[in-house]
Amino acid sequence: MVPRFGYEFLPHTTDAYIQATGATFEEALENAGRALFHTMCDVNSISLEFVEEVEVQGADEVTLLYGWLESLLLKFELEGKVYAGFEVVSVRRSDGFRAHSRISGEKYDKRKHGGKVEVKAVTYHRMEVIRNKAVVIVRFILDL
């Protein structure tokens, strides 16, 4: 069976429980970023007007995933930016894990991008990274 890469929303009573997948950890992180913004707005309406570099680090892959999602959420909350283009250029293991990425998007406009639900926080609850031969799976919960 060929794995399907991307993301999906898993059943959860009150929050957004998301599974993002990719052929690599980098691709799974990219899809996790897309899923985060899909939760908050219409990602298909986001123009790629600018590109920004993002560096995150973590003690392990789970804390790196948390840091990645948290940095994206803070860009939305503090800078009023939304993103639809995600390229995790590299994940290096050096005194923990470090990810270098490029993200593309524009300033948030509720009329253009809509407003689905407010994401209050990224949580560590049920956050995990699963690897097998064909796919890397990341799962996480967004507090709504």
For 12-143, give the CATH class. Answer: alpha beta
Sequential DSSP letters for the chain: -PPPPEEEEEP-SSSEEEEEEESSHHHHHHHHHHHHHHHHS-GGG----EEEEEEEEESSHHHHHHHHHHHHHHHHHHH-EEEEEEEEEEEEESSSEEEEEEEEEEE--HHHH-------EEEEEEEEEEE-SS-EEEEEEEE-
Locate the domains of the chain by residue range.
12-143
* CA-atom Rg of the chain in angstroms: 14
Q: Give the pLDDT of residue 2.
A: 41
pLDDT in the model for residue 4: 59
User: How far, rounded to the nearest angstrom, does the alpha carbon of residue 61 sit from its chain's CA centroid?
Assistant: 13
One digit per residue, the tens of pLDDT, for the chain of length 144 reads 445 579 999 999 899 999 999 999 999 999 999 999 999 999 999 999 999 999 999 999 999 999 999 999 999 999 999 999 999 999 999 889 999 999 999 999 999 999 999 999 999 999 999 999 889 999 999 999
